[in-house]
Amino acid sequence: MSKLGSGEYGNLLIEIKQRIRSAQYEALRAVNKELIALYWDIGQLIVTRQQGESWGKSIVEQLAKDLQAEFPGMSGFSVRNIWNMRSFYVTYSQKQKLQLLVAEIGWSHNLVIMEKCKDDLEREFYMRMTRKYGWTKNVLLHQIENQTYEKTLLNQTNFDVTLSEAVRNQAKLAVKDEYTFPFLDLGDKHSERQLETAILAKVEPFLQEMGGMFTFVGSQHRLEVGNKEYYIDLVLYHRAMQCLVAIDLKIGEFEPEYIGKMQFYLAVLDDQVRLPHEQPSVGIILCKTKDKMTVEYALKDATKPIGIATYRMTSTLPQELKGQLPAPEQVAKLLEGLD
């Protein structure tokens, strides 16, 4: 210890703690895979035997009773959970792509997705998002109830023409068409400053609603250009894409001139703040309302990566918008960005 400086020891301690956490994570991941494989096998055995025998519902009740007696210290053998195992196998037995994903997330997450999502692409989306962003069960439920799948697929950005193929899909999946902020204590009428202040008071839930891969950099982020100062409402950092994200808060309807202002912010961020290893900065203009056609025209000739989104305090995605979702092939290609 005497030959090791405090700085060197600090780095050593950090490295060892990271290694321990990594080992713990890998151990938990291995246990989870074994548990999912066990539940899959039990479900398969029940389905196979029921096909060849005239067994009714009582067989599951008897099985639960006997397994609980044989393995008293092991949870998971309730009647309900054994039925879940059977449903789990039936749901995914013919879907090889999803079979590979179910072992990557927890059993409780699988049950939520199996129950709440009826479409295979929607299930794949939430499986991949849970795996990539480490969503807890409660966060996953929140995302499903807030219709994150639909709001992500309907987003309006110009990322196809402003970002490299390497990060394009990730960027599309990082911006929703609409954000829901039920945790903000705001009335229908509020100023942009009040909106910003309310967000700053609830940074953690705000970042969760933004998608879970953002970290907070600052508010009223100062930029100096020539003899003038400019301020960006909020600046975040997206860890997966490794880029700064500028957020401009607007309490009214989207106006085309907002694009020019955001392009200016992004140009300055890229020139003065972005580090050499980071991707180009991305902008999100967050408005109370927007006209989709106006947004399309406004983004058409923009050269910086920008997404236009709306916000509300409660989640209400009209049912008719479900018919506007991209074709399944387009959705499948987009989901590749979550690998």
The amino acid occupying position 206 is F
Residue 142's pLDDT band, with cuts at 50, 70 and 90, is: confident
Q: Look over the chain and give the mean of its residue pLDDT values, rounded to a whole number.
A: 88
Q: How far is it, in rounded angstroms, from Cα 98 to Cα 36?
A: 13
Paired strand residues for 179: 311
Would you say 290 and 254 are in contact if contact means Cβ atoms under 8 Å apart? yes
Q: Which residues contact 212 (CB under 8 A, 6 or more apart)?
A: 129, 133, 134, 135, 139
pLDDT digits (tens, 9 = 90+) for 254-302: 999 999 999 999 999 999 999 999 999 999 999 999 999 999 999 999 9
What's the pLDDT at 288? 94
**pLDDT over threshold 60, residue 217:** yes
Provide the 3-class DSSP secondary structure of residue 76: coil
CATH numbers and ranges of domains, the chain: 6-144 (no CATH), 150-338 (3.40.1350.10)
Helix axes 165-174, 328-335, angle to 10 degrees: 110
pTM of the model: 0.75
What's the pLDDT at 8? 76
Q: How far is it, in rounded angstroms, from Cα 137 to Cα 130?
A: 9
Would you say 188 and 149 are in contact if contact means Cβ atoms under 8 Å apart? no
Percent of the chain topping pLDDT 90: 57
Q: Which residues contact 61 (CB under 8 A, 6 or more apart)?
A: 79
